[in-house]
Amino acid sequence: MLDFTIGLISSFLISFIAYKKSSLNISGFLAATILGTAIYFFGGLWFFNIMIGFFISSSFLTKFKNTNKNNVNKLNEKGGKRDYIQVFVNGGIGLILAFLHYIYKEPIFLLAYSVSFGVATSDTWASEIGVLSKNKPLSILNLRTIERGMSGGISTLGTVFSFLGSAFIAIIFFIAYIALYNDIRQGLTYFSICLILGFIGSIIDSILGASIQAQYYCESTKSFTERKIHKNKPNRLVKGYYIVNNDAVNFASNLISTLIVFWLY
């Protein structure tokens, strides 16, 4: 009961601040509170810290030089505020893994949990900082220039921060692993796996974004976008599949990377 209470209070306060800072909309605020409470209850402080490491750092980078991202946010399907779907896309797999660790107490679930948030952090850091690059991004599939903010684009700056985001979560994971299991040698091995798979997950995300994610052309603005509708007029699908949006791509890359952990184990 104590873990539930601490988780609820902590999650509510952090989510409320994020809501007031416009990092979350109301549905995102409620979802983040529920998700954080459940993860603290099942995983305890260290699982919670990994999730919070992702959430706070990503929220900060989303707001970093936000005025320079206005045009990019107009291209994105949902803009800057995270909703409940985005919260569960980034944290839902982690919640399941926290529950499995609660039941079985096996370190593999902590590793997979950390990889899950490593992918989310790596992808978010790359997206939020990569768009600030002076050079236009290149498509990961054919290396042609594409619009800033469009899925599937890569840049040197974004790639560096993608790796740093994965490293950030891997470091928190390593500290958590030592605190919970007190095995430095195995912890270093798992640290490497967490670091590599978190970064690879972001690359998978870019590949899926460039190949199967829906992209549209807006006749009004004469530009490509991820939005289905502009001023009540449907945009024309020019690439990918209608049902595959950014949330689906994020979930798929997260799931694939997490499953690789169990394959390696």
Of 117-121, 141-145, 198-202, the least confident: 141-145
| pLDDT above 70 for 81 | yes
| pLDDT above 80 for 181 | yes
Cβ atoms of residues 125 and 198 within 8 Å: no
Side by side, the strands of the sheet bearing 223-225 are 223-225, 215-218, 236-239
pLDDT score of 100:
98
| pLDDT above 90 for 222 | no
Query: How large is the average pLDDT for residues 168-180?
Result: 98
pTM of this prediction exceeds 0.75:
yes
* Single-letter amino acid, residue 97: L
Residue 177 carries which DSSP code?
A: H
pLDDT score of 76:
60
Burial (Cβ within 10 Å: 0-12, 13-18, ≥19) of residue 171? middle
Q: Identify the residue with better confidence: 77 or 181.
A: 181
pLDDT score of 228:
83
Return the residue matching tokens 């209470």.
5
Residue 38's pLDDT band (boundaries 50, 70, 90)?
very high
* Single-letter amino acid, residue 42: F
Q: Identify the residue with better confidence: 234 or 38.
A: 38
pLDDT score of 236:
86
| pLDDT above 90 for 74 | no
